[in-house]
Amino acid sequence: MNSRILALLATSIATIIYGVTFTVAKDVMPVYLKPFGFIVLRVGGAAILFWSIGFFIKKQAIEKKDFKRIVIASFFGIALNMLTFFKGLSYTTPISASVMMLTAPILVLVFASLILKERLFLKKVLGVVIGLVGAVILILYGNAGGEGAKSMMLGNLLVFINAASYGLFLVIVRDIIQKYNPIIFVKWLYLFGFFMVLPFGWNEIIIAKWSSMTFSIYSKIGFVIVFSTCVTYLFNLFALSKLKPTTVSVFIYLQPVVATIYALMVGSDSLNTVKIIATILIFTGVYLVTIQGKETTDK
């Protein structure tokens, strides 16, 4: 099996893990473990694993001037990103959350144009508008008339903030990530992130219903820490070393498909007209934003 096929297989597995994570994490929250407590476990566990892997990586010193950027990146890529995602997921549904995450590529384009002064073309601007309209519809009407609609609205809004935070993170680290070994970079990223999320989740760790958790619940917590965080990162890292970034990024669009199929299979979510319309609008927006044309030289 050649390296390209292995890379495609790796990013496919990562996509499946991401898609399943929406429902797996939802099974744990908020009954057994509150969202912020779950984040402390996730970030702390990932930090331990990445620092352990780091012992087998050739040492590389981080320049002092880059620590400030890593701290900022950790805030947007770990703390704000994960706290808003898990809190939002505890209020909304797996399908809505996975669809909302599709706004990330659109928001990356917006931040890149504002911060990096990248040129915007009409087609991409149209894609941003259409995609964001879909996001607004999902936030406001994703569970219109249903039980807990207000909580659903808040949940979708928090997941949107999570997508915006992640999009900003990608723009911030675009240059610095190329200076260091990815494992060296990410172990510091998660270490700083752990200290940022600890104040928010420590009390929730203490009051967690540990004694009432079944083996299945503990397994799902472990799945999120090991597979949803560490394995997906390493698999995507391997894929990026063999494939073009644009090829790897396409797989993010499969996450809602996987999340929807799994959520419907286990009966944790359902489809409605608003979700379908919002999904179509967001997919259309992402397509217009990411498609390459004659007017752009994107690689």
Given this model, what pLDDT does residue 218 score?
Answer: 94
Which residue, 88, 247, 245, 79, is CA-closest to 169?
79
Average pLDDT over the chain reads 80
Long-range contacts of 144-151 (CB under 8 A, 24+ apart): 144/274, 148/91, 151/91, 151/92
Residue type, 37: G
Q: Does a structural domain hold residue 55?
A: yes
The arithmetic mean of pLDDT across residues 33-45, rounded, is 92
Q: pLDDT tens digits for 85-110?
A: 888 888 887 777 777 777 766 777 77
Q: Does a structural domain hold residue 298?
A: no
Q: Percent of the chain beyond pLDDT 70?
A: 82
Given this model, what pLDDT does residue 149 score?
Answer: 45
Q: Does a structural domain hold residue 295?
A: no
Which residue, 166, 15, 151, is CA-closest to 90?
151
Cβ atoms < 10 Å from Cβ of 32: 19
pLDDT at residue 134 is higher than 90: no
Q: Does a structural domain hold residue 236?
A: yes
Structure tokens at 262: 């799994």
Q: Does a structural domain hold residue 296?
A: no
Q: Does a structural domain hold residue 135?
A: yes
Given this model, what pLDDT does residue 191 score?
Answer: 95
For the ranges 160-174, 185-199, 261-275, the lowest mean pLDDT is seen at 261-275
Given this model, what pLDDT does residue 4 score?
Answer: 78
pLDDT at residue 297 is higher than 60: no
For the ranges 116-130, 226-240, 283-297, the lowest mean pLDDT is seen at 283-297
Helix 149-173 to helix 64-74 angle (10° resolution) is: 160
Q: How many folded domains does the chain comprise?
A: 1
Cis peptide before 182 (omega within 30 of 0): no
**CA–CA distance, 222 with 237 (Å, rounded to integer):** 21
Segments forming the whole domain that contains residue 210? 3-290
For the ranges 189-198, 252-261, 289-298, the lowest mean pLDDT is seen at 289-298
More confident residue, 117 or 188: 188
Report in angstroms the alpha-carbon separations of 179 from 17, 133, 176, 183: 28, 37, 5, 12
pLDDT at residue 254 is higher than 70: no
Q: Which residues contact 211 (CB under 8 A, 6 or more apart)?
A: none
User: What's the pTM?
Assistant: 0.74
Q: Does a structural domain hold residue 78?
A: yes
**CA–CA distance, 227 with 34 (Å, rounded to integer):** 20
Q: Does a structural domain hold residue 260?
A: yes
